[in-house]
Structure 1
Amino acid sequence: MARKSIDCREMPSESGCDLKMSGSEDHVVPAAVHHAVTAHGHQDTPELREGIRKMLKDDE
C-alpha cells in the first residue's frame, strides 16, 4: 500500500503547527482528523475528512 503524508505547515494556523504525518491513507486520515480536532479545534465532519484526504500527498 502506498504511503501518504500530510503536513500541517501547508495550512496556516495561529499555533504555527509543524506536525507531519505519514503512513497508509487508512492510518493517516484518522490520525490527522484527531489532530485537527484536538490541536486545532475543528469539528470531525465529513467535510473535514474529505479536505484532509485532498491534502494527502504521495510520501517519497
Structure 2
Amino acid sequence: MTRKHIDCRSFPSEINCSIAISADTDRELLEAAVQHAVAVHGHHDTPELRNQLRGAIMDGPPTEEQPAR
C-alpha cells in the first residue's frame, strides 16, 4: 500500500500554510484535508471543495521541496 498526501503549499493562501497531511487511504486523507480546510482556511465543506482536494491527492509521502501550484 502506497501512502498518499495532500500538501497545502500546492494551494495559494493568505497565511502561506505549509501543512502536509498524509494517510494510507484516499478516504481518510480526504476527511482530514476537509477538516483542515474548514477549520484553518475558512472553507465550507462542499462537493466542490471535496473534488478539488481529491484532485490534489498525490502518491507517496510529502517531500520537503515546494510542490508546483
Deviation at residue 2 of structure 1 after TM alignment: 3.3
In structure 1, give the amino acid aligned to 2:20: K
CA contact (8 A) 1:9 1:18 kept: yes
In the alignment, which residue of structure 2 is the partner of 1:21?
21
Aligned to 1:33: 34
1:27 is matched by which residue type in structure 2?
E
- Runs of at least 5 residues in structure 2 that lack an aligned partner in the other structure: 62-69
Provide runs of 4+ in structure 1 moved above 2 Å: none
AA at the equivalent of 2:55: K
Between the aligned partners of 1:34 and 1:58, the Cα distance in structure 2 is 20
* Cα separation, 2, equivalents of 1:51 and 1:3: 19
Q: Which has the higher strand share?
A: 1
TM-score normalised to the size of structure 1? Answer: 0.91
Aligned to 2:67: none
Q: In structure 2, what is the Cα distance between the partners aligned to 1:40 and 1:15?
A: 8
1:8 deviates by: 0.2
The alignment covers a number of residue pairs equal to 60
